[in-house]
């Protein structure tokens, strides 16, 4: 992030001609100091106070004594520090390195022996003027929506929860009134033709699947065309999101490391989705309620271990707006990885000597793994439904294998041989008896259907008669493959 700030400075964007995105890039690059007891959000406190002063029409630059007497008590009241005068010194000097603060007559200040910051006595004596850069200040004053966006980003990233009375004390209560859930940009539902236009409007990387936008808030992208096997989880409509890394075993680095931090801190992220042939849409805010490890296939065609992050959609990034089912899942989550790779690798067709198995032996191993995992599933909850879906990987893989890539409905009149753009079978593995009604996660109770037949089985007028036919067909095929 420091390089981003230096890049902005080198390009001269911290100037009178600065635009909204440049301001948000600076805000998004801001990081709190790391102390032994955790983060020290001194600089975010100073930024909130400075934005509040600008919004209220106060001068752009104010003397050290004014900043000290205003920000010091704020840090004591809301930041847990003990000495207000010394607490104000650190952000007053350090924020300069973030391209968001200027100090006049800095060269006349006497520095500490290490040269890291000025002596408090020297600041008191010189009493220099300091404040937001001119370009930042003028944009914040002229654009209340930008000011609210900047404040919303700072609050969401550094204050969880927001201390009571903080907005009032920094002069931002009126600005943020009614903007709790709408201050941040983009808004849910915004669409773009491609990743380039998203980055042009809101910053962020144009290629990575897990990356922050300019305001520093993490964003994940899911493209129905691939290359990852993301998707909505039936019945609960939560999202199974594949981790970062196209080939080889995925590791807890890069985007996956950022996801783990968001899971630990229970922070909301943005979820973007593009249906096949459609546009990118900011579909929802979401929080991570579980992390799984499963076997998948990399871009190189080889089996690899991959993360699956379970995302629960929420109406806003503010925790008090999250549904009870999401809160229950978060409270139940231990943060540990649910590792389902051991045992599934054998079922997937590779034995301990890495020899390939024929389809019938693979099917039998998958079926055995599915039955083992179905034994202890009796508790009903949203999270249990998610777990059942993800744990049923062997059963689902067995059914796809058994189908040979064709719809298993014996009366199919749709498009049984249709393929996806990636040349995969256009099939949906379905529980003949719904999971919510106690349907087991075993191959003999599941069937592969084309989208037409799946719709008939789920919503058709004669669905109950069709379900009987499908259950009989699934059992017959299972029996045949199990011999």
pLDDT at 338 over 60: yes
Q: List the domain boundaries for the chain.
A: 2-176, 186-341, 342-483
**Does position 37 have pLDDT exceeding 70, yes or no?**
no
Local structure of residue 118 (DSSP, 8 states): B
User: How far apart (Å, rounded) are the C-alpha atoms in residues 148 and 235?
Assistant: 37
DSSP 8-state class, residue 38: E
User: Residue 483 has what pLDDT?
Assistant: 72
pLDDT at 1: 43
Looking at residue 24, its pLDDT comes to 94
Helix (H) or strand (E) holding 78: helix 64-79
Give pLDDT, residue 438: 56
Return the axis-axis angle of helices 451-459 and 463-482, rounded to nearest 10°. Answer: 130
pLDDT-derived band at 381 (thresholds 50, 70, 90) equals: low
Under the banding of pLDDT at 50, 70 and 90, the label for residue 276 is confident
> Is residue 200 over pLDDT 80?
yes
Beta bridge partners of 432: none
The pLDDT score that the predictor gives to residue 342 is 62
At 315, give phi and psi (nearest 5°): -70, -20
Residue 47 pLDDT more than 70?
A: yes
Average pLDDT over residues 443-460: 90
Count of H-run helices and E-run strands, the chain: 19, 16
Q: Does the CA dihedral 396-398-399-405 come out positive or negative?
A: positive
Comparing 86-100, 110-124, 297-311, 410-424, the range with the smallest average pLDDT is 410-424
pLDDT tens digits, one per residue of 242-264 = 999 988 999 999 999 999 999 99
Select the more confidently predicted residue: 34 or 141: 141
For residues 56-61, average pLDDT: 96
Tell how far CA 185 is from the center of its chain: 15
Q: How does residue 16 score in pLDDT terms, banded at 50, 70 and 90?
A: very low
Task: Give the integer Cα–Cα distance in Å for 140 and 144.
Answer: 6
Q: Please, are residues 267 and 286 in contact by the beta-carbon 8 Å criterion?
A: no
pLDDT class for 431, splitting at 50, 70, 90? confident
Q: Is the predicted pLDDT of residue 12 greater than 50, yes or no?
A: no
Query: Within 10 Å of residue 121's Cβ, how many Cβ atoms?
Result: 9
Closest to 48 in 3D by CA, of 141, 133, 170: 170
Higher pLDDT, 30 or 226: 30
pLDDT bin (cut points 50, 70, 90) of residue 429 is confident
Q: What percent of the chain has pLDDT over 70?
A: 86
Looking at per-residue pLDDT, the higher value among 121 and 434 belongs to 121
Q: CA end-to-end span of the chain, whole Å?
A: 60
- Strands annotated E in 189-346: 191-192, 210-212, 218-223, 231-232, 239-242, 269-274, 280-297, 303-314, 337-339
The residue ranking higher by pLDDT, 54 or 301, is 54
Confidence check: pLDDT of 174 > 60 = yes
Nearest to 411 by CA among 360, 480, 462: 462
Give the pLDDT of residue 261.
Answer: 94
Q: What is the pLDDT of residue 423?
A: 67
Q: What is the CATH code of the structural domain delimited by 186-341?
A: 2.30.280.10
Cα–Cα dist 165/128, whole Å: 29
Residue 322 CB neighbour total at 10 angstroms: 21
The 3-state secondary structure of 263-276, one letter per residue: HHHCCCEEEEEECC
Q: Which two tokens stand for residue 263?
A: 């899971």
What is the spatial distance between Cα 213 and Cα 370, in angstroms, rounded to a whole number?
40
- Is the pLDDT at 292 greater than 80? The verdict is yes
Question: Mean pLDDT of all residues in the chain?
Answer: 85
Note the pLDDT of residue 295: 79
Q: What is the average pLDDT across 91-107?
A: 94
pLDDT at residue 355 in the model: 38
Residue 298 reports pLDDT greater than 60: yes
pLDDT band for position 332 (cuts 50, 70, 90): confident
| Least confident stretch, 98-102, 290-294, 301-305 | 301-305
**Predicted structure pTM score:** 0.75
Q: Which residues pair with 295 in a beta bridge?
A: 305
Task: Match 């890291």 to its residue by tokens.
Answer: 116
Beta bridge partners of 282: 272
């Amino acid at each position: 992030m420091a390089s981003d700030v230096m890049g902005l400075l080198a390009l001269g964007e911290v100037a009178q001609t600065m635009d909204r995105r440049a301001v948000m890039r600076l805000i998004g690059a801001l990081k709190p100091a790391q102390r032994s007891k955790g983060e020290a959000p001194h600089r975010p406190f100073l930024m909130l106070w400075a934005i509040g002063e600008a919004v209220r029409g106060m001068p752009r630059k104010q003397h050290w004594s004014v900043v000290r007497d205003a920000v010091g008590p704020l840090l004591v009241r809301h930041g847990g520090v003990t000495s207000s005068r010394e607490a104000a010194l650190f952000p007053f000097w350090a924020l300069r390195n973030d391209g968001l603060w200027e100090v006049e007559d800095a060269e006349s200040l006497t520095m500490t022996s290490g040269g890291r910051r000025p002596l408090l006595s020297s600041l008191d004596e010189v009493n220099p003027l300091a404040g937001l850069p001119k370009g930042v200040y003028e944009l914040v004053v002229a654009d209340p929506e930008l000011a609210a966006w900047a404040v919303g980003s700072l609050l969401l990233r550094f204050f969880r929860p927001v201390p009571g009375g903080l907005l009032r004390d920094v002069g931002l209560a009126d600005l943020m009134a009614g903007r709790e859930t709408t201050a941040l940009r983009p808004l849910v539902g915004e669409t773009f033709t491609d990743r380039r236009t998203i980055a042009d409007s809101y910053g962020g990387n144009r290629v990575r699947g897990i990356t922050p936008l300019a305001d520093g808030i993490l964003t994940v992208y899911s493209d129905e065309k691939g290359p990852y096997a993301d998707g909505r989880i039936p019945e609960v409509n939560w999202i199974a999101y594949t981790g970062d890394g196209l080939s080889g075993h995925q590791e807890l680095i890069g985007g996956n490391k950022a996801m783990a931090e968001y899971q630990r801190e229970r922070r909301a992220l943005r979820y973007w989705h593009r249906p096949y042939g459609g546009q990118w849409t900011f579909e929802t805010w979401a929080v991570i309620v579980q992390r799984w490890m499963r076997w998948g296939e990399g871009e190189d065609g080889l089996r690899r271990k991959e993360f699956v992050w379970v995302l629960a959609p929420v109406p806003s990034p503010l925790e008090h707006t999250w549904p009870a089912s999401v809160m229950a899942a978060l409270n139940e989550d231990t943060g540990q990885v649910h590792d389902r790779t051991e045992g599934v690798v054998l079922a997937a067709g590779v034995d301990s000597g890495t020899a390939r198995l024929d389809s019938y032996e693979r099917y039998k191993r998958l079926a055995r793994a599915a039955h083992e995992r179905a034994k202890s599933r009796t508790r009903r909850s949203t999270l249990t439904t998610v777990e059942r879906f993800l744990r049923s990987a062997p059963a689902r893989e067995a059914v796809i294998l058994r189908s040979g890539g064709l719809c298993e409905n014996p009366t199919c009149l749709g498009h049984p041989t249709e393929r996806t753009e990636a040349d995969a079978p256009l099939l949906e593995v379905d529980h003949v008896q719904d999971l919510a009604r106690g349907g087991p996660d075993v191959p003999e109770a599941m069937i592969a259907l084309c989208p037409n037949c799946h719709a008939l089985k789920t919503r058709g007028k004669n669905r109950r008669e069709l379900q009987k036919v499908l259950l009989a067909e699934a059992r017959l095929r299972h029996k045949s493959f199990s011999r």
